[in-house]
Amino acid sequence: MATVGSGILEGKKILVAGVLTEASIAFSAARIAQEQGATVVLSNFGRALSLCQRIAKRLPQEAAVVELDVTDAEHLSTLADRLREHVDGLDGVVHSIGFAPQEAMGDGFPEVAWEHAATAFQVSSWSLASLTHACRPLFGSSASVVGLTFDATVAWPVYGWMGAAKAALESTSRYLARELGPDGVRVNLVAAGPLRTMAMKSIPGSAQFEEAWESRAPLGWSVTDTEPSGRAIAALLSDWFPATTGEIVHVDGGFHAVGV
């Protein structure tokens, strides 16, 4: 294992948005980023903010925490200035933000009210663009933005409007990659397999995802191991992918590549 202060992210400053628990992919990404030499700032909001502050102390080095609700225009407009209290710029952003009301999940997809679907799109899709825009004043000649998705090329059982929001997230990442590429900003996503994070636990009937991966992933799959996804995020944040943008890197044991 790399020691803190050395590695592929040496000297970089990274915002990891959406850290909630040690079981989250975002926590794994933050830990590995520190182990690879980065300075990390975390964010969350509301009741989750105190959880994030406690989690920040469990990293190899305690990380600064800023409050960020991506549905709050003031939070977004002041984010760059508040981040400057901790770092003098940003080299990377990890978007680990997603939410859909329970009313937007499960069966009954065409019956869901717009207000519930709209929340899923605003928090889970549009926020990739708004967060990136809020951080742009801190970017230098190059930067890397990495988001998290769950393969949206197919319709999953019980995923409901979150699946549609993830499809929008994937499209959003491509449009950001197209527009921000000339400014040296790379935008990519990691499509992880099912993991027992708070996000997955909130999906009714999510156990069937675990069963499918256990039987079909060529490399096998552990629903409790966030390390592979965290490593993929760290790699995309690094300078080792200088010509890669608009891409979705699957970290799912190969599940996406096989049939029944």
- Over residues 112-122, the pLDDT tens digits come to 999 999 999 99
pLDDT score at 203: 67
- Over residues 155-184, the pLDDT tens digits come to 998 899 999 999 999 999 999 999 999 999
- Per the annotation, binding residues for substrate are 100
| Within-domain flag for 2 | no
159 is catalytic: yes
**Integer Cα distance of 187 and 173 in angstroms:** 6
- Over residues 122-160, the pLDDT tens digits come to 999 999 999 999 999 999 999 999 999 999 999 998 899
pLDDT score at 152: 95
| Within-domain flag for 42 | yes
pLDDT score at 210: 80
Side chain identity at 125, as an amino acid letter? Answer: S
| Within-domain flag for 193 | yes
**The total number of structural domains that make up the chain:** 1
- Over residues 230-249, the pLDDT tens digits come to 999 999 999 999 999 999 99
pLDDT score at 31: 98
Domain that holds residue 18: 13-254
| Within-domain flag for 3 | no
| Within-domain flag for 247 | yes
CATH code, domain with 243 = 3.40.50.720
Q: Which of 12, 13, 57, 166 is catalytic?
A: 166
Of 35-49, 198-212, 213-227, which range is least confident? 198-212
DSSP string, 214-259: HHH-TT---TT--HHHHHHHHHHHSTT-TT--S-EEEESTTGGG--
175 is catalytic: no
pLDDT score at 236: 98
**Integer Cα distance of 22 and 26 in angstroms:** 8
pLDDT score at 222: 93
pLDDT score at 1: 41
| Within-domain flag for 73 | yes
Predicted confidence band of residue 2 (pLDDT cuts 50, 70, 90): very low
- Over residues 11-39, the pLDDT tens digits come to 999 999 999 999 999 999 999 999 999 99
- Per the annotation, binding residues are 18, 24-25, 69-70, 97, 100, 166
Q: Which of 12, 13, 57, 159 is catalytic?
A: 159
- Per the annotation, binding residues for NAD(+) are 18, 24-25, 69-70, 97, 166
| Within-domain flag for 8 | no
pLDDT score at 30: 98
| Within-domain flag for 64 | yes
